[in-house]
């Protein structure tokens, strides 16, 4: 007999739902902007770029 996995229900009170709501508060970076910030952080240890 095969067992099926039960997935958790995502509602307003779940940790995942809270996490997704929090990350939606921040704007998405354009790919080039993300690349340049990562490069500044890596090459110059720029903590502002990392933040």
> Splitting the chain (51 residues) into consecutive groups of 10 residues, what average pLDDT does each group show?
67 81 93 96 95 88
* Global confidence as pTM: 0.54
Per-residue CA distances from 36 to 16, 31, 40, 47 (Å): 30, 9, 6, 13
pLDDT at 14: 82
Of the candidates 28, 36, 5, which has an alpha carbon nearest to the alpha carbon of residue 46? 36
């Amino acid at each position: 007999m095969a067992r099926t996995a039960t997935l958790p229900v995502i509602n307003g009170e779940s940790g995942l739902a809270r996490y997704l709501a929090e990350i939606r508060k921040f704007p998405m970076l354009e790919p080039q902007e993300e690349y340049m910030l990562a490069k500044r952080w890596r090459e110059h240890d720029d903590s502002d770029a990392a933040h």
